[in-house]
Structure 1
């Protein structure tokens, strides 16, 4: 506002004629007077010097980090605040989505590269700035510190003025407890993964055994059918042989009977012939 409505003009009269639309005349007159005081000029010079020392530019303007966090949280269903990596992207990206400068781009590229790697020794979903909430906050803080360096005393980067390491991360003992719990959780996850792998292996082996049993059953059934078929054929052959034998015996008996009858008839005919003589 000062750069747009105050600095371009040389006199207070000109400035009064170019009042910002959201301020009243009295407020604008007081603000013009304040900016003209030695105290305000001294503050302005100090702020200018501090801005000149900034290595990394940002796009948040006069909006505080707390306000940005609140606004971003209101956009989410769970009202969760963005983490420090997401805050860096929000405050160092232009409206068109490009980084504000090359240094910011380099830092965000490093964040992206580290977030895409597995978390510790346990598998983790690859994340980007827009989806880094799928990664634990402890892991995000580790990545942030790895890229940006250690925190200054009493300050926590990515949170603006006010928050301290204790208010954000807790006391040293609590942080150590958090690290221990995180390590225990990772170990438990590794044990769970190992158990799942063993279960998968056992399931595969059981499936193989079932397949083998099924194959043995099919082979046995086929063999049984062959045996039954062979047995039926043998019985049939034996029956046919007995029938043939019975037929031969009957034929022999019939032939014997016919021969006996023929002989008897011939004897009778001989006797009749002799009687006639």
Structure 2
């Protein structure tokens, strides 16, 4: 906004707008001191849009009616990514990271399940071997008992 040499606004309408802008900025700053999720990116433009409304097509605010966006910003202004696109890119990046973590977690779970199955198979194999040895020892014991009984009771 234009001001006189003494710093006062040129018109009462300009003074009113400047006061609204200051109030909105103070509200944003107060909210930011309480809420850490307030996004300060492009905050001045958001405040201006709230007070004055959106820019008119093809014009640059505060530059007069004869200046359009290409004249003011140049033809390369499209190279700057708007904050919404940045946010969307960040969200997509986080989604990709979540997918990678899920894939990694699924792989780890599969590996752990395979290890558990291998350990269960080894345990079953050991148990079968122990049962076989037990049965073998039982047979040997029975055989020895039979031999012992034969020596105590010789045939007549």
When normalised by structure 2's length, the TM-score is 0.58
2:133 maps to which residue? 239
Q: Find the aligned partners of 1:221 and 1:124 in 2 and give their Cα distance.
A: 50
Distance of aligned partners of 1:209 and 1:57 in 2 relative to their CA distance in 1, 3 Å threshold: closer
Shift of the alpha carbon at 1:192? 6.2
Q: Find the aligned partners of 2:71 and 2:3 in 1 and give their Cα distance.
A: 34
Q: Find the aligned partners of 1:181 and 1:57 in 2 and give their Cα distance.
A: 31
Q: Find the aligned partners of 2:147 and 2:119 in 1 and give their Cα distance.
A: 42
The unaligned stretches of length 5 or more in structure 2 are 29-39, 46-54
The two structures, once aligned, show a CA RMSD in angstroms of 4.3
Task: Report Cα offsets for 1:212-265 as digits up to 9, x if no partner.
Answer: 1111122222222222222211211111111011000111112112222x84xx
1:229 maps to which residue? 123
1:92 maps to which residue? 8
Equivalenced residues, count: 129
Q: Find the aligned partners of 2:149 and 2:90 in 1 and give their Cα distance.
A: 88
Are residue 250 (structure 1) and residue 144 (structure 2) matched? yes
Q: Find the aligned partners of 1:221 and 1:181 in 2 and give their Cα distance.
A: 58
Distance of aligned partners of 1:257 and 1:185 in 2 relative to their CA distance in 1, 3 Å threshold: same
Answer whether contact 1:111 1:144 (CA < 8 A) is retained.
Answer: no
Correspondences of 1:33-182 after superposition (within 5 Å): 58=4, 60-61=5-6, 91-92=7-8, 103-109=13-19, 111=21, 124-127=41-44, 142-145=60-63, 150=64, 176=71, 178-182=73-77
Task: Report Cα offsets for 1:138-185 as digits up to 9, x if no partner.
Answer: x9x93324xxxx36x9xxxxxxxxxxxxxxxxxx8xx63734221x22
Larger radius of gyration: 1
Are residue 202 (structure 1) and residue 96 (structure 2) matched? yes
Answer whether contact 1:92 1:104 (CA < 8 A) is retained.
Answer: no
When normalised by structure 1's length, the TM-score is 0.36
Q: Find the aligned partners of 2:107 and 2:3 in 1 and give their Cα distance.
A: 71
| 2:42 aligned counterpart, secondary structure | coil
Distance of aligned partners of 1:101 and 1:190 in 2 relative to their CA distance in 1, 3 Å threshold: closer
| 1:201 aligned counterpart, secondary structure | helix
